[in-house]
């Protein structure tokens, strides 16, 4: 299993890049958004997923471990596959996609390239529980940015704690998760886990304008 590659961007093509790692060129398929950020000659680290099939091997790359892990979940959904998973990651923000799954919004998912009604329903059915799955109290959670254990003050309610932990498990750092949960709780209130998590993801998906 190749977990990541660190090397120089040799060149990029339609849907892929070639990384020069100590003189060996690796052909890596990537989402469009990741490819547009790569500059020839730059040194980069790419988190990878290696798929081995009877007719060959394919290497898929992502700029974050969270995105790589979600790719792994998507390709397990019936009817999606690697090509469909890359299309999803290329044409929607992560937060928007998760919000659509939580809201069971099949119409929004059908707007993605290559996603029909049946596939949208499968995405909701097979991913909804994975999105809302909460680690048990006291379970160490490793975040991409901190690599530390989640710690939430005792004054926070159980529901608030669960939403913060869910966001951390999706790749957000604890400070960012706590801040958005408090804002949503103040503005709208928190009725239940699913609705609260969806509201927080919608807030996180909003663009930030600098003045």
Supply the pLDDT for residue 1. 65
128: part of which helix (H) or strand (E)? helix 117-132
The 10 Å Cβ neighbour count of residue 108 is 17
Same domain flag for 139 and 204:
yes
Same domain flag for 148 and 207:
yes
Residue 205 CB contacts under 8 Å (≥ 6 apart), including other chains: 93, 95, 96, 99
What tens-digit pLDDT sequence spans the chain (211 residues)? 688 999 999 999 999 999 999 999 999 999 998 999 999 999 999 999 998 777 788 999 998 887 888 888 899 888 898 999 999 988 887 778 888 888 889 999 999 888 899 999 999 998 887 765 533 333 333 323 333 333 333 334 567 877 887 787 677 877 888 888 888 888 888 878 788 888 888 888 766 444 4
For residue 8, the domain's CATH number is 2.40.50.140
The number of distinct structural domains making up the chain is 3
Which two three-digit tokens encode residue 157? 């309610």
Same domain flag for 168 and 202:
yes
For residue 98, the domain's CATH number is 1.10.150.20
Supply the pLDDT for residue 137. 30
Domain range for 122: 65-132
Same domain flag for 58 and 116:
no
Return phi, psi of residue 50, to 5°. -100, 125
| CA distance linking residue 34 with residue 63, whole number of Å | 7
Same domain flag for 139 and 101:
no
Helix (H) and strand (E) counts for the chain?
A: 9, 5
Q: Name which of 38, 15, 19 is nearest 27 in CA terms.
A: 19
Domain stop point among 62, 83, 98: 62
Same domain flag for 73 and 128:
yes
| CA distance linking residue 141 with residue 133, whole number of Å | 13
Supply the pLDDT for residue 122. 92
Same domain flag for 152 and 116:
no
Contact 143, 174 (CB under 8 A): yes
| pLDDT tens column, 59-108 | 999 988 878 888 888 998 888 989 999 999 888 877 788 888 888 899 99
Same domain flag for 28 and 42:
yes
Same domain flag for 144 and 208:
yes
3-state DSSP: the chain helix, strand, coil percent, rounded to 5?
Answer: 45, 20, 35
Helix axes 117-132, 193-205, angle to 10 degrees: 110
Domain stop point among 110, 132, 154: 132
Same domain flag for 141 and 107:
no
């Amino acid at each position: 299993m190749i977990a990541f590659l660190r090397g120089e961007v040799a060149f990029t093509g339609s849907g892929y890049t070639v990384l020069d790692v100590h003189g060996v060129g690796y052909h890596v398929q990537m989402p469009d958004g990741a490819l547009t950020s790569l500059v020839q000659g730059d040194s980069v680290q790419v988190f990878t997923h290696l798929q081995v099939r009877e007719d060959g091997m394919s290497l898929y790359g992502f700029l974050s471990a969270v995105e790589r892990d979600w790719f792994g979940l998507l390709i397990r959904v019936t009817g999606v596959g690697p090509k469909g998973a890359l299309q999803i990651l290329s044409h929607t923000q992560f937060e928007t996609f998760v919000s659509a799954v939580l809201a069971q919004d099949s119409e929004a998912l059908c707007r993605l390239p290559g996603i029909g009604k049946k596939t949208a329903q499968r995405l909701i059915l097979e991913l909804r529980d994975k999105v809302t799955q909460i680690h048990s109290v006291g379970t160490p959670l490793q975040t991409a940015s901190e690599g530390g254990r989640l710690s939430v003050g005792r004054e926070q309610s159980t529901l608030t704690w669960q939403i913060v932990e869910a966001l951390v498990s999706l790749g957000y750092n604890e400070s960012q998760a706590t801040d958005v949960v408090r804002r949503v709780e103040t503005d709208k209130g928190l009725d239940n886990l699913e609705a609260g998590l969806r509201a927080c993801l919608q807030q996180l998906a909003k663009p930030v304008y600098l003045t």
